Structure 1
Amino acid sequence: MSEYDAVLFDSDGILVEPPPAETQSTATRAAFHEVGIDEPARTHVQAIVDGVTVGELEEICTAYDLEPETFWEARERHDERSQLEEFERGVRGRYDDVSAIVDLPVDCGVVSNNHHSTIEFVLAYFDLERAFETYYGREMTIESLELKKPNAHYLERAIADLSAESVLYVGDSESDVVAATRAGLESAFVRRPHCRGTELEATPTYDLEDLHDVADLVRGDGRRRA
């Protein structure tokens, strides 16, 4: 029997392959072009791709005399479109081991820093809707930048939906581990190829190889703590 009432999963890097940095850079440059900036500074493009804060976004827009809301609307639209096109063209796909967690004996959910509408697309496109009782991505607003992980906001909303007390969060980044800790959850860090050698400052409850390990853990077949 599982010691968890529920399991929450990140999406990019856990359920599906993460978006390539160049794809995100191209989408960001397209957004700049749409609002009249043909040659944005490389450092500004990189800052947005790396996870811009509200303050950084406002400074970048001030440098080009742009309204932050206007630029951000364009950026989010181009970013989402580029992601959906990559899924549809087969450039990005679902990890094979996701099949190991679609029938877990506990309620499951998805919590991601990606757009809520993108997560909705992913679950439908890869036929994963039945595997998850709830899911959260962030809204396409500037305000959502302050609510994404490592903020525990969306994790807490998912926990409330599932009425769960003992919850495991599965992710592939430091911010996932920190967000889980802030939400009072145990965490599992999955070492996908893109994070195989990552050295974490925050310590996850479990350090695992793949989703088969997660499934074994949740079913009570294995317990490998970090």
Structure 2
Amino acid sequence: MTAYDTVLFDSDGVLVEPPAAETQAEATRDAFRAVGIEDVDRRSLEDVVNGVTVERLHEICTTYDLEPDVFWQAREHHDERSQFEQFDAGARDRYADVAAIEDLEQPRGVVSNNHHSTIEFVLDAFDLASLFDTYYGRPKTIESLELKKPNPHYLECALEDLDGETALYVGDSESDVIAAERAGIDSAFVRRAHCSEASLSSAPTYEVETLHEVVEIAAE
């Protein structure tokens, strides 16, 4: 009997390469332009790109006299468009070791802070849908920001779908590790190239370099 009855994975940085910072920044500039703001200050731009909170989003919109829902709709549209374009152009790809997931015996799921529709796109574009039994991204709403990891909400939704009790969550960020802790499950931190030097204040259950190691852990 294996130690885990369920294995969950983050998407960006685990299954597929993460978006480039400049791509995200330019998509956010496009969103500001779409609502009539040609010149946005650096801090506001960086805050929107780097995990903006609901409170900070409202502050930024107040500064530029924007309706939060209108701006956020533009931001999410341009952010998703930029991701689709990067995937279609081959600028972002799936990691080669994703094929190892086929060897897992447990039910599997994807839980991401990215848009739910973007996760659907990724699973379809890279022929990954057959590897997973459930998947969760967030809806493109302001309210969804409060449910992003490290909030364990979507992890718990996936665990409920799969009747998971002794689960392992595979991620590439500290928020993934904390979300797993809050959901009461173990975590595996994958040190990909983009996070090879990351310092974690919360220790994961495992640190690995490839998904092949995750499969070995899950088989024990």
1:204 is displaced (CA, Å) by 0.4
1:42 is displaced (CA, Å) by 1.1
Aligned residues: 220
Identity of aligned residues (%): 64
The answer to whether the 8 Å contact 1:3/1:218 transfers is yes
Q: Distance in 1 between matches of 2:172 and 2:102?
A: 18
Residue deviations 1:28-74, cap 9 Å, x none? Answer: 00000000000111111100111000000000000000000000000
RMSD over aligned Cα, in angstroms? 0.6
The amino acid of 1:33's aligned partner reads: R
Where do residues 1-226 of structure 1 align in structure 2 (5 Å cutoff)?
1-220=1-220
The answer to whether the 8 Å contact 1:102/1:128 transfers is no
Secondary structure, aligned partner of 1:113 = strand
Residue deviations 1:98-142, cap 9 Å, x none? Answer: 001123100000000000000000001000101000000011000
What's the TM-score, normalizing by structure 1? 0.96
Secondary structure, aligned partner of 1:91 = coil
Secondary structure, aligned partner of 2:103 = coil
Q: Distance in 2 between matches of 1:188 and 1:179?
A: 12
Q: Distance in 2 between matches of 1:102 and 1:68?
A: 42
Q: Distance in 1 between matches of 2:195 and 2:119?
A: 21
The amino acid of 2:22's aligned partner reads: E
Gaps spanning 5+ residues in structure 2: where? none
Secondary structure, aligned partner of 1:46 = helix
Secondary structure, aligned partner of 1:168 = strand
Match of 1:224 in 2: none
Q: Distance in 2 between matches of 1:123 and 1:174?
A: 24
The answer to whether the 8 Å contact 2:27/2:79 transfers is yes
Secondary structure, aligned partner of 1:57 = helix
Gaps spanning 5+ residues in structure 1: where? 221-226
Q: Distance in 1 between matches of 2:165 and 2:173?
A: 23
